[in-house]
Amino acid sequence: MARKKIIAGNWKMNMTPTQAVELCATLKDLVKNDDVDVVYCVPAIDIVPVVAAVKGSNVKVGAENFYIEDKGAFTGEISAPMLIDAGVEYIIIGHSERRDIFGENDILINAKVKKAFAAGLKPILCCGESLALRKAGTYKEWISRQIKWDLSGITADQVKNLVIAYEPIWAIGTGETATAEQAQEVCKLIRDYIAELYDADTAAAVRIQYGGSMNAGNAAELLAMPDIDGGLIGGASLKADFGKIVNYNK
């Protein structure tokens, strides 16, 4: 069965609740495409108004972060049951900004993937190399190692419902996109590695996104690649252009 494309916006720390509702209104008629799963991953404070704003549409809502415990003395954190109760379906895990700025390591990221599946959230697991690793030529080993650690103890059936986002750090927010060939090379590497860790059926089912300066101008070329099943989009998800990415095939 062909994999359905998944186009997810990662709003990061942008959009007040008022602006979030305005953006949903702007995008409302622009993000309709039955061929594509559309997700807005939004700041915690925007979840409730965004869930209300997209109600009845094809848009699903995701969160950008959560903690692995259900409740308790974890000041500042938000739990999976809270997200689910609010109407969240997807959760970004292991974004390079969480790894680099907030010190999240593969042990925590693995625990988050396990917790997300146990709680009924669909993880979007991010991986990707720095510019230094790209230049050193060791990016393939790096990404395989991230995948291996982050999916430790995760079953084949769970991986079939996983989204993996390949996001080269040197392409995030820089305006420098990986070429379609560079992105395809790593997305295929990830799929082949899933086949090695699990089996061919699991590798055929897992959806792999590219992320890093994807925009209305380059989306069609990237999304035409055989192993690129969608995009995780930062900057371009905050404007009407996001509708053009969602409708890349129209």
The Cα 25–Cα 103 span in angstroms is: 35
Annotation marks residue 95 as catalytic: yes
Residue 244 amino acid letter: K
* Shortest spacing between CB 167 and ligand PGA, in angstroms: 6
Q: Which is nearer to ligand PGA, 214 or 222 (CB)?
A: 214
Annotation marks residue 167 as catalytic: yes
Catalytic member of 64, 97, 104, 167 = 167
Structure tokens at 89: 């379906």
Q: With binding defined as CB under 6 A, does residue 232 bind ligand PGA?
A: yes
* Shortest spacing between CB 22 and ligand PGA, in angstroms: 20
Pick from 43, 94, 234, 243 the residue near ligand PGA by CB under 6 A.
Answer: 234
Q: With binding defined as CB under 6 A, does residue 6 bind ligand PGA?
A: no
Phi then psi for residue 139, to 5 deg, are -65, -30
User: Which positions from 206 through 225 interact with ligand PGA, judged by CB under 6 A?
Assistant: 211-214
How is 195-212 classified by DSSP, letter by letter?
A: HHHS-HHHHHH-EEEEES
218 contact partners, CB below 8 Å, separation of at least 6: 177, 180
Structure tokens at 45: 């404070």
Q: With binding defined as CB under 6 A, does residue 168 bind ligand PGA?
A: no
Q: Which residues bind ligand PGA (CB under 6 A)?
A: 10, 167, 172-173, 211-214, 232-236
Active site residues: 95, 167
